[in-house]
Structures are given as C-alpha cells and as structure tokens.
Structure 1
Amino acid sequence: MKSLKKKRRIQIIAVAVVALTVSTGLIGYAMRDGINFFRAPAQVLAEPPSPNETFRIGGLVEEGSLQRGSGETVRFKVTDGAASIPVAFTGVLPDLFGEGEGMVGTGRYIDGTFVASDILAKHDETYMPKEVIEALKEQGVYQEADAAVPIN
C-alpha cells in the first residue's frame, strides 16, 4: 500500500513539473514579440540590432531634418546629442510632433534607417518620455524646463 502512494506522489510531481515547463515555454513564446527594448541613437550606432528585432528608439527630432513627401511617408532624424539616426514612418503623426521635440518610436533598424511602425510624441509643453530624458542626461545635453509661473 505504501509503494502505491509513493508511486502516485511521484506521478503527480512529474505531471506538475511537465505542466510548469510547458506553461513557462508557452508564456515565453507568447511574449517574444511583446517585449520592446529602449535604445538611444548612440546605442543603435554602437551596436546595430538585427533587421528583424523590434525595439524602441527615442530622442529629439533633429532641427531641419523633417521631410514630408507627397505620400504618407515622413522622414526625419532622431538625435540624443551624440548621434543621429534617420527614421522613416508611414502613417499619421501625432499632433504635437515637430522638430526639436521629444519622441519615442517603435520599429526596426533596416539598412541604416529606423523604420517606425508607431510614433509617440510629448503630450504637453513640459513632458518628455522618461527614457528620452535619461538618454539625454547620459549625453549631457538635457536641460530642465523652466518651472511654471503661477497665475495670480
């Protein structure tokens, strides 16, 4: 009788281990495209990612680089002060997108150009994404915005 209980316990533990392994594998498989790492332009140039890797890039839209074509494709450069990366985006840009403004894009780095599938821009005069601020601080080009003056 004891050996039957022992066998049953070992079977339950073995099934639990297999189920845990399978569920961990399925979660990892499901998340393979859902995790996007953030990189600054200098990091992209230092270690270019593979063309099939999706990641986020952020910085400031370089002054004088914004080119709107006759189609929906917009080209510009994103910079962190140390390096600039050309960006191509097909779609509708956010209303507050512009030169000298902070942005974060999601996409792939293909043949020296970041091909963006999604572009995010700051949502008011003082906001800049946390990752962009950190990257600009590392380069020593970030300047704090002036404090808001209260209206009496």
Structure 2
Amino acid sequence: MKGKHQRLLLVIVAIVALIGAVLLAMSALKDEAAYFYTPTDARTKGVEPGKAIRLGGMVVKGSLKRQADGVSIRFEVSDGKETVPATFSGIAPDLFREGSGVVAEGAFDARGTFIASNLLAKHDERYMPRELNGMTYNETTHQIENGAQ
C-alpha cells in the first residue's frame, strides 16, 4: 500500500473514531441535559414529572411567599401566557424578587408544581430570558405584558 493510501486510511479511521466518541458522549449526557422551557412550553409540550429541565420566566408579583422554616419559598413563574407554581428550598440569590426574570433548574412533581433545586438569578436587574425579551410587569393590572405593544 502506498503512503498516500495509508494517510487516507488513517484520516478515515480518525474521523470514524471521533464521530463514535461524540455519539458516545451524547448518549451518556442525554439524561443529564437540562433544557430551557417557558411556562407555555412546559404546559403545551407536557413535560413529564421528574424530568430535569430549566424553567424560565418572570416571578409574578404578589406570589412570593416565604415559608415558616425560613429557607423555603413558593412563587409563580409566568411568561405572559401561562403561569406555573414553583417552590424552592435554599438560599435564594439577592436579585431574586417579584417582577424579575428567573431561570430555575429542577423538575415538575405529579401535581404540576415546579420543584426548583437551583435558582439562576446571578445577573443584573436587566436580565431577561431571550424568549421573554421585551416583556414588562404592569403594576396596575398585575399582568405581564409585551413592551412592544
């Protein structure tokens, strides 16, 4: 076999090995990946209970309730169309408040409540998930509105 053919064979084997490694890594990580959903996506796509996801939206004003244990909170997340009840146990980030954007990692329980294991609110006050860009909270109507209207 000529040197040219040996190099070509080596390149083909390397490409096949690389593709195999990528497929193996994707297969191993498929259960660990947390996908981003808005409340509307979560309702329409029917996310099964226990599946790890990221839920993003606005914290509905008036919905944030601190529990007696001092570390658990209940709140609602909305995208302007749907609202999802959520809970979190732990120390919430300083910027987590009513009327602000939030991305929460966790899973839905059988009753449809989102059980957050982590709140991703490590951002400045102008942070907004891409899907909710332009949304604002109307103090008068207590509704989330599209700012472009």
Range class of TM-score, shorter chain: 0.7 to 0.9
What TM-score, normalized to structure 2?
0.72
Q: Distance in 1 between matches of 2:27 and 2:68?
A: 40
Q: Distance in 2 between matches of 1:54 and 1:94?
A: 21
1:142 paired residue among 104, 128, 146 = 146
The Cα shift of 1:91 comes to: 0.8
The Cα shift of 1:11 comes to: 8.0
- Corresponding residue pairs, total: 138
Is structure 2 residue 95 aligned with structure 1 residue 104?
A: no
Secondary structure of 2:145's partner? coil
| 2:140 paired residue number | none
| 1:59 paired residue number | 57
List alignment gaps of at least 5 residues for structure 1.
Answer: 145-152
2:41 paired residue among 40, 43, 49 = 43
Amino acid at match of 1:66: L
Q: Distance in 1 between matches of 2:77 and 2:66?
A: 15
The Cα shift of 1:9 comes to: 8.4
**What percent identity do the matched residue pairs reach?**
35
- CA separation of 1:64 and 1:18: change in aligned 2, threshold 3 A: same
The Cα shift of 1:13 comes to: 7.5
Secondary structure of 1:98's partner? coil
Q: Give 1 or 2: higher helix fraction.
A: 1
Amino acid at match of 1:143: G
Is structure 2 residue 121 aligned with structure 1 residue 117?
A: no
Q: Distance in 2 between matches of 1:13 and 1:85?
A: 51
- CA separation of 1:66 and 1:13: change in aligned 2, threshold 3 A: same
- Structure 1's consecutive aligned runs of 4 or more residues displaced over 3 angstroms after TM superposition are 8-18, 122-125, 134-137
Amino acid at match of 1:54: A
| 2:94 paired residue number | 95
- CA separation of 1:107 and 1:11: change in aligned 2, threshold 3 A: same
Please identify, of 19-28 and 55-64, the stretch whose mean Cα deviation from structure 2 is larger: 19-28
The Cα shift of 1:87 comes to: 0.6
Q: Distance in 2 between matches of 1:97 and 1:9?
A: 57
Q: Distance in 2 between matches of 1:142 and 1:25?
A: 41
List alignment gaps of at least 5 residues for structure 2.
Answer: 137-143
Q: What is the root-mean-square deviation in Å for CA atoms of aligned residues?
A: 3.1
Secondary structure of 1:141's partner? strand
Deviations 1:61-112 (A, max 9, x none): 1121111112222111011121110111111101121111111111112220
| Structure number, greater radius of gyration | 1
- CA separation of 1:85 and 1:135: change in aligned 2, threshold 3 A: farther
Q: Distance in 2 between matches of 1:143 and 1:10?
A: 57
- CA separation of 1:52 and 1:74: change in aligned 2, threshold 3 A: same
